[in-house]
Amino acid sequence: MKYLFLDTSSFNVNIAIIIDNEIIENFSITNSPKLSENIFVYIEDIFKKSKIKINDIDKVFVVNGPGSFTGVRVGVTIAKTIAWSLKIPIITLSTLELYATTKVSEKYLIPFINDRNGYLYAGIYDNELNNHMIDKYLHMSELLKEIQNIKECVMIGYEKLDTTIEIVEPELDILKIINKYEDDYSDDVHLVKPNYLKMIDAERNLEKNNDQKNNN
Amino acid sequence: MKDKYILAFETSCDETSISIIKNGYKEIATVVLSQIDIHAKFGGVVPETASRAHIENITIVIEEVLEKAKMKIEEIDAIAVTYGPGLIGSLLIGLVAAKTLSYIYNKPLVPVHHIAGHIYANNLVKPLEFPLIALVVSGGHTELILMEDEYSFKYIGGTVDDAVGEAYDKVARVLGLSYPGGPVIDELATTGVDIYNLPLPMDDSTFDFSFSGLKSAVINLNHNEKQRGNEINSANLATSFQNRVVEILTKKTMRALKKYDVNNLVLAGGVAANRGLRERLTELCRENEIDLTIPDIKYCTDNAAMIGAAGYYAYKLGRRFDGVLKAKPTDKLN
């Protein structure tokens, strides 16, 4: 089986071609605001090197967030269009779960992406990729409450945080997460969308106003 | 000559639209998924929300347009896509989807300027005749463009602040009317009397426009009358506002036609649906023996059919994306 793996959601862009459980081509580069301008240069390049064509792909895996809204959308739009065109399965993966493929000696991993004002995106996984807290957008203080009973844990992310918990930079094991999901049913390609985990300000304000109206 | 089919994408603002156009003038199929209901509750387009909606719609719209046309992408000659101007997050969805298809099916990818699309909407009515002047009026644009030949554009003037459609939306909000403001004010203006003393904005010798002053004048008038305890007559205010807008637009357009010695005028953009503007321009063009073309209402608002029409000519001229895929949110048409 030939898979395309696409991750444009956060700090690094990762593209891989996997054939029969082996990564035959892998490309990684620091993400930038110019992602959309260059992404096809990377994709065309990796296919050239791999000696297979995009039409040969049997399944596409795409990381659909959380992360940079634009970054996620670029990857998801490409993956959706490929899956729709080639009529192949599409499987969405979590950015945070992908971080949690990092090899560490601790049992629990807390992948995170820092946001503003003490808020962050985080989840709790163990080193077998079992989920113990679904990916959320939450305040650091809430996260600390969630993990107060977990002794053996490490945080996985690229940023510094104001915490005593050890932070390890992600080292992605793409095959590990693909092996977990490769036999899953495909998502409906039309319904695939980014998993932002965060409402935009205009929508939150609107909801707040509506709540106030309803309460009055 | 063999027929050429263009698959065109337009996602520059709040409509996800894809179309198939034959030879630059014949519409085979168009699908438009409008987000107007989503944005109405915010009183305007929220860029992040628009972008989120585009990504949910994109493959649905591709599938629908091909079904409607009873065609396969293999039968398409080129893919055209709006690269700007517009909302960057919205433009990107159309660009990236179009690029993905062009890569998979090995079809040329043709960049189209949004305003070129609005002008070429008229080519779906009758073939453009040159030289011509285009008055492009919409929620994002107010521009006068001179075309001396096919797909050649010369910018001769435009708004220095708000676009005309934007001014309508803001005035509608002040008057407590619904979004989008254009159609509501246009309707209301048919019932009112022009009694309010509003300025004729940027009434000078240039071909530029300014609508923020007029908008402020409406807001101030409304505010002052309220302070004095006077009831504002919305219909009358709508009439006064619309009359000023129509007057300055038509005045400068007619002067541009005269200066450049041009006898063809095309109206384009969402505000081309405005009845007041259509009627006044029709009248003036008849008096001055100008040949006026106004697209059907469905081609006035953002749609991919117009991008397919413009895209055909851009394709014939050899315009292509060269490797790098660049959205240009503020590119001028030149």
Contact across the interface for A77 and B324, Cβ inside 8 Å: no
pTM summary value: 0.93
| pLDDT tens digit sequence for B21-74 | 999 999 999 999 988 888 888 877 889 999 999 999 999 999 999 999 999 999
Which strand (E) or helix (H) includes residue A15? strand A12-19
B209: Cα within 13 Å, side-chain hemisphere: 30
Query: Which of B49, B52, B100 is closest, CB to CB, to A78?
Result: B100
Q: What contacts A214, CB < 8 A, 6 or more positions away?
A: none
How many interchain CB pairs under 8 A, A with B?
A: 93
Contact across the interface for B103 and A55, Cβ inside 8 Å: no
Contact across the interface for B46 and A202, Cβ inside 8 Å: yes
Residue A216 scores a pLDDT above 70: no
Domains of chain B by start residue, with CATH: 5-121+299-316 (3.30.420.40), 129-294 (3.30.420.40)
A39-53, B127-141, B165-179, B192-206: lowest mean pLDDT where? B165-179
| pLDDT tens digit sequence for B235-278 | 999 999 999 999 999 999 999 999 999 999 999 999 999 999 99
Interface check B40 vs A, CB under 8 A: no
Phi, psi of A68 (to 5 degrees): -65, 125
Query: Which of A36, A85, A202 is closest, CB to CB, to B49?
Result: A202
Largest distance between two CA atoms of chain B? 70
Overall residue count recorded for chain A in this entry: 216
Instruction: Chain A: give the shortest CA distance to residue B97, in Å.
Output: 6
Residue that wins the pLDDT comparison between B183 and B43: B183
Interface check B61 vs A, CB under 8 A: no
| pLDDT tens digit sequence for B273-308 | 999 999 999 999 999 999 999 998 889 989 999 999
Instruction: Chain A: give the shortest CA distance to residue B55, in Å.
Output: 6
Contact across the interface for B327 and A38, Cβ inside 8 Å: no
Phi, psi of B155 (to 5 degrees): -75, 120
Instruction: Give the strands of the sheet with B132-137, arranged side by side.
Output: B152-158, B142-149, B132-137, B264-268, B291-293
Residue A162 scores a pLDDT above 70: yes
Phi, psi of A92 (to 5 degrees): -95, 145
Residue B322 scores a pLDDT above 80: no
- The SS3 of residue B146 is strand
- The SS3 of residue B60 is helix
Q: Using CA atoms, how far apart are residues B199 and B194, in angstroms rounded to an integer?
A: 12
Q: Which residues of B touch A86 (CB under 8 A)?
A: 104
A105-109, A111-115, B84-88, B321-325: lowest mean pLDDT where? B321-325
Residue A158 scores a pLDDT above 70: yes
Q: Could you tell me the fold of the domain covering A2-94+173-202?
A: Nucleotidyltransferase; domain 5 (3.30.420)
Interface of A with B (CB under 8 A): 36-41, 43-44, 54-55, 69-70, 73-74, 76-78, 80-82, 84-86, 189-191, 193-194, 196, 200, 202-203, 206
Residue B327's pLDDT band, with cuts at 50, 70 and 90, is confident
Q: What is the pLDDT of residue B332?
A: 80
Query: Which of A69, A190, A200 is closest, CB to CB, to B60?
Result: A190
What residues does CATH 3.30.420.40 cover in chain A? 2-94+173-202
What residues does CATH 3.30.420.200 cover in chain A? 97-168
ipTM: 0.95
Query: Which of A73, A85, A191 is closest, CB to CB, to B104?
Result: A85
Asked if B295 and B101 touch (Cβ cutoff 8 Å), the reply is no
Contact across the interface for A80 and B58, Cβ inside 8 Å: yes
Average pLDDT (A166-179) is 97
Q: Could you tell me the fold of the domain covering A97-168?
A: Nucleotidyltransferase; domain 5 (3.30.420)
A102: Cα within 13 Å, side-chain hemisphere: 24
